[in-house]
Structures are given as C-alpha cells and as structure tokens.
Amino acid sequence: MLNERMLDLGKRSSVIREIFEYGNKRRAEIGAENVFDFSLGNPSVPCPPAFNETLKQFLDTVPAESLHGYTSGPGDLAVRKAVAADISAKFGVDAPFDLVYMTCGAAASLCITLNALAEEGDEVIAFAPFFPEYRVFTETTPAKLVVVPCKSSDLQLDFDALEKAITPHTKALILNSPNNPSGVIVPEADVVRLAALLNEKQAAYGTDIFLIADEPYRPLVYTGEPVPYLPRYYDNTVVCYSFSKALSLPGERIGYIFVSPACKAARDVFAAVCGAGRALGYVCAPSLMQYAVARHLDDTADIHIYEKNRTMLYNGLCEIGYSVIKPDGAFYMFVRSPEPDAGAFCEKAKQYDLLLVPSDSFGMPGFVRIAYCVKPEMIERALPAFEKLFREYR
C-alpha cells in the first residue's frame, strides 16, 4: 500500500539520531552538563554576527514581495554571478555564472547531481568511511553504490582497491574532503593521482566518469594548507557546496552546485542538473538566504574554537592511550575502538555518559566518530571519562 523502500527508510531511524534521542533522555535525567554528547555535527559556533545584520538590512530595505518572491529556478542571477566570481577568484578556475545552480543545502546538491547523472546500470563509488546518506541518495537514483574502503592506517585513498572498483559502469565518484566522519583531507599528490587514474579509465573504457566534490567542510581546515580544488585537477568535476558548516547555518539549507566548464558537454550536464532540480521539486532555493550568503562568501564562523577543541581532544586522547587518526579539517575525529566491535565500545562509553557514534554506519568498522563541534568546556570535562573508559581495556 506504501512505497516499501520509503517506509523502511522512515522506520529505520539513523544510528546517530538514536544516540541523540538517548542523549536527550540522559540530559533530562542528570543535567545537560553531565552528558558528553559527541554524536551530532551541529555547529556550536554561531554564524558571523554580520550575517544576521545583513538579513536585517535586507528585511528593512528590500520590498518584501521581491525579497521573499521566487527567484529564477537555478537561483537569483546576481547571486549566481557573485558565487561564480568567488569561485573564480578563490580557486583560479573559469567559473561561468550559468553553470552555478543554487540549492537547498548539501543534501539537495548531492541528490540533484546524482539524479542528473545516474542511469540504470550505473555505479557510484563512495570511499569509506562516508556520510551514511550517500547510500540513501544514490539508491534513490537508478544507480547502485560501490564502496571502496580507505586504508585503515590513515584513512587515505587506497588506490589499489579503487583501481579494481572502477568498471565500465562507473558513472561517478563522491569525494568528501575534508571528510565527514574522519576529518581527513586528501592531499594534492593523491588528487593528482586520482585524476590520472580516472583519465586512464575513461580512455580505456571510452566512458565519462564524474568526480562529485562534496565539500561543505572546505573552509574548516587546521593545517594552513589549502584543500585542493578538484576542478583544477580533473575535468569532469561537479562541485556540491553548502554554507551550512562554513557559516554555521545548517538549518537554513543553502548551498550550490557548480558544474566545471571543463566537463564534457558541460552545458548538458548543467541542463540535467536543472532537470533533476525540477523532478525532485527543488527549483528556486530559499530566497532571503540566497541573497544573504552572496554577501558573505569570504566569511566563516569563528572556526578557531574547533581548532582549539581539536588540539585539546587529540592531545588528551593520545595521552590516555587511544589511537587517533589526526584530523586536518572538518570537526570530526576518528578514534580506533579498543575492542573490535565499535558498537560494544560505544555501549560501554554510554556508562560514562560519553555519546560516540560507532563507525559501522560510515561503512568502516572498528572506529568511533567524535563530533567535536561542541563547547570547549565539554571536552575538558569529558577527558576524565574517556580515561576511565580506557582503563576498562587495560
């Protein structure tokens, strides 16, 4: 009587959400300050104050029927031009405004792009660990998801595994750097190698393979090194961006898709993006937020807090004895579970009111994800609990 897949997706609540609900229960029982909830990637840092000032200025000065009116389907023209100019200035690539499509956030960007590209029989490659909704989004298209695990030593790309996974059916790869859930950034040398491999496979198979750059965490980097901008390295690239994490606006659902003009038949790729936007009901991203982000393309929320958290948490956990993959970006840390079953480890952690996410849901067992986009005080107070937990394994 209902669509079985949708019913199943709706009933199967995500692991992260279950932990979050458990956290709500515990907060009510013992007080919020005693629950060390590292489960959610909800930024703890406010948006730049100037952003809210911009919103108020628009509300005061722009006629309401135009401020809240429909923009054109792919977004407001001036906004698209501003985004394109920003891409061009920041990354030194050609960025025509009419290859920019404003979207309702990162999930929308990915869903639209995947639906624009995927046909029956296609394969889309994701690198584990990966954001679990990649599977949901991909399986909504006619394509199937192929998972290529990263090297468990450093969670970097495993080129041997990747080479074997690319087939004549490979339509796209999703690369998420800085990565959720690991915080790992793919270094330039690996991007170059990836581009060479994809070019080689395209030539060998006579196919087109698209690289989908999912990069909501691009500005959240702590190494001082820029994250390689994929359109500079590989022609068939589509960038999916969201302002959620950079400007701390996750609830506002605003982002964009940029089809690199170097893509084969780039205008057709963009037309397919427009078509998928229509088919999924996504034309015209939220107008007020479109106008506002266009004024804050160079701003970010105060990410120093995340940087401070990262240092404190990484050093603290290493001192205790945990084995941690040092994150270079985003606000997630991947820690090896001291026992093989990360789920069992997370259950033990709950006894210390430490709420962690087992890595199985990210397609790679044996780790836990710690979302450190929290108040620094929480990390300070959580470290003794992490220590007690670790003692159980000595």
User: Site residues for a second copy, window 206-245 (CB under 8 A)?
Assistant: 207-208
When the beta carbons of 178 and 255 are compared against a second copy, the nearer one is 255
Between 140 and 156, CB nearer to a second copy: 140
Between 92 and 168, whose beta carbon lies closer to a second copy? 168
Q: Is 115 in the site for a second copy (CB under 8 A)?
A: yes
Residue of 100, 186, 211, 249 that binds a second copy (CB under 8 A): 249
Residue 31 found at the interface with a second copy (CB under 8 A): no
By CB under 8 A, the residues from 51 to 110 that bind a second copy are: 51-52, 55-56, 59-60, 63-65, 67-71, 73, 104-105, 107-108, 110
Nearer to a second copy, 184 or 238 (CB): 238
Strands 210-214 and 170-175: parallel
Q: Does residue 393 bind a second copy (CB under 8 A)?
A: no
280 binds a second copy (CB under 8 A): yes
* 2 part of the interface to a second copy, by CB under 8 A: yes
Residue with smaller CB distance to a second copy, 136 or 312? 136
Cβ at position 2, least distance to a second copy in Å: 4
When binding is defined by CB under 8 A, the residue of 136, 197, 297, 312 that contacts a second copy is 136
Q: Confirm or reject binding of residue 47 to a second copy (CB under 8 A).
A: yes
Q: Shortest approach of a second copy to residue 339 CB, angstroms?
A: 31
Query: Which strands, in side-by-side order, build the sheet including 144-149?
Result: 100-103, 255-259, 237-242, 210-214, 170-175, 123-128, 144-149
Closer residue to a second copy, CB minimum distance, 276 or 370? 276
